[in-house]
Structure 1
Amino acid sequence: MSKKIIGMTALLIVTCMVLIVGCSKNTTLLIDNSVAITMPVSFSKDVQPILTKSCATSGCHSGSVAPNLSAATAYTALQSGSFINTTSPEKSDVYLWLTGKKSATMPLGSANNPSNINALMLAWIKQGAKNN
């Protein structure tokens, strides 16, 4: 074999090894072996739309009931009101309300919140509850 072929083969092997080692999937959260959140959760793109649709409605968390979960104030209201616990995410008030482990279950009148919403909220808190 020529030195050129050996060099190209070695380069190809090293490149493949780098690609294989660099490709991995990290599970952020797995709830009841059914919902896996494997991507970074964005407050503005993932969490706020849920809050706007389900919580920041007239007569609820749009200013008349704390915390105010309107788009302009939600993040600050959750953080300053101690509704988020990044040290023990499962003990965060917002997560406990969503899962029905703390009265009253949110959103009101919703006996069963979809587990993907609960998982998304918990993943966001576990990832540091960033304002991203």
Structure 2
Amino acid sequence: MNDRVLRLLYVLTFLLATSCQWEQMNPKIDCSTSPVVIATLEVQASQCDSPVGSFAVAASGGEPPYTFTSAGKTNVDGIFANMEAGSYIVVATDANDCTDELSVSIENTGGVNLTEVITNNAGCGTTDGSIRVNATGGMEPYSYQINNGEVQIGNTFEGLGLGTYSVAVIDQNGCESAQSVEINSGVSYEASIKSIIENNCAISGCHNGSVSPNLTSFSTIQSRASSIKTKTGNKSMPKGSSLSQQQIDLISCWVNDGALNN
């Protein structure tokens, strides 16, 4: 046997030997016997018109540790932050290069907004007022809150007295929209206040034009409303304090409403 043949036999023997060793050191893994399973833990939609969302995934089975890849990003904790709204394919890979994948969708939800506020008057000295609010946008269902109090499911607040209230709507993403709402008494100038002024203040020898101010003019009454409220309240007006407590309260409520020509 010549040298050329011997060298060829040597090379073949070496290749066969090393091939067997490689197969023994790196046996082929059957991923179906212990598959990797990926699951979604949490998806956070874009909040309050922000174009950023996030999601978290986890893996089980196979051979830990795992790596996770999506949209060109790879990590070992399965958390993907600062993601635009859209659908993503996430791949989990274990130590044996076995993989599993799933699709995750991030919704782009805008912030919730109060679109309508409906109020009912409280009445003078009573608590018959109410506020009902309507909202759109964001992620339903909504919850509602007044004056930073207890959160409720219903969108109506009842049993309210005269005053200013802060009403808020909160969506499922924690986005909030708040608005200041005024509850008036609803006391009417034409129905209640005008006759009190005419019969008790704008009379002969008093504020009927012979004495300043002239309370026969609504514009004057309106401009002096705060003073009228104070003086009728401390009973220095009209002379002799002929007003009943109910009349005094009606004047006070009307002025608190803004002294409207209603």
TM-score (norm 2): 0.30
Matched, 1:108 2:229: no
- Aligned residue number for residue 119 of structure 1: 249
Instruction: Kindly state the Cα deviation for residue 119 of structure 1 after the two structures are TM-superposed.
Output: 1.0
- Aligned residue number for residue 58 of structure 1: 204
Matched, 1:78 2:207: no
Query: What 5-or-longer segments of structure 1 have no aligned partner?
Result: 1-19, 30-37, 85-91
Cα distance between partner residues in 1 of 2:221 and 2:191: 16
The structure where strand makes up a greater share of residues is: 2
Cα distance between partner residues in 2 of 1:59 and 1:51: 14
Instruction: Kindly state the Cα deviation for residue 24 of structure 1 after the two structures are TM-superposed.
Output: 3.9
Matched, 1:97 2:252: no
User: Cα deviations across residues 74-125 of structure 1 (Å, max 9, x unaligned)?
Assistant: x201234xx23xxxxxxx2111111227xxx111022x74221111111111
Cα distance between partner residues in 2 of 1:98 and 1:56: 14
User: Cα deviations across residues 12-34 of structure 1 (Å, max 9, x unaligned)?
Assistant: xxxxxxxx9769454338xxxxx
Cα distance between partner residues in 2 of 1:25 and 1:47: 25
Cα distance between partner residues in 2 of 1:106 and 1:64: 16
| Contact residue 187 and residue 254 of structure 2 kept, 8 A | yes
| Contact residue 99 and residue 113 of structure 1 kept, 8 A | no
Larger radius of gyration: 2
Taking only aligned residues, the RMSD between alpha carbons, in angstroms, comes to 2.5
| Contact residue 43 and residue 130 of structure 1 kept, 8 A | yes
Paired letter, 2:257? Q
Query: What 5-or-longer segments of structure 2 have no aligned partner?
Result: 1-153, 164-183
TM-score (norm 1): 0.56
| Contact residue 193 and residue 250 of structure 2 kept, 8 A | yes
Cα distance between partner residues in 1 of 2:215 and 2:159: 32
Paired letter, 1:28? L
Structure 1 segments of 4 or more deviating over 2 A? 20-29
SS at match of 1:45: helix
Q: Which has the higher contact order (CA 8 A, sep 6+)?
A: 1
- Aligned residue number for residue 67 of structure 1: 213
SS at match of 1:122: helix
Identify the match of residue 49 of structure 1 among 195, 198, 201. 195
Cα distance between partner residues in 1 of 2:159 and 2:211: 40
What's the % identity of the aligned pairs?
Answer: 33
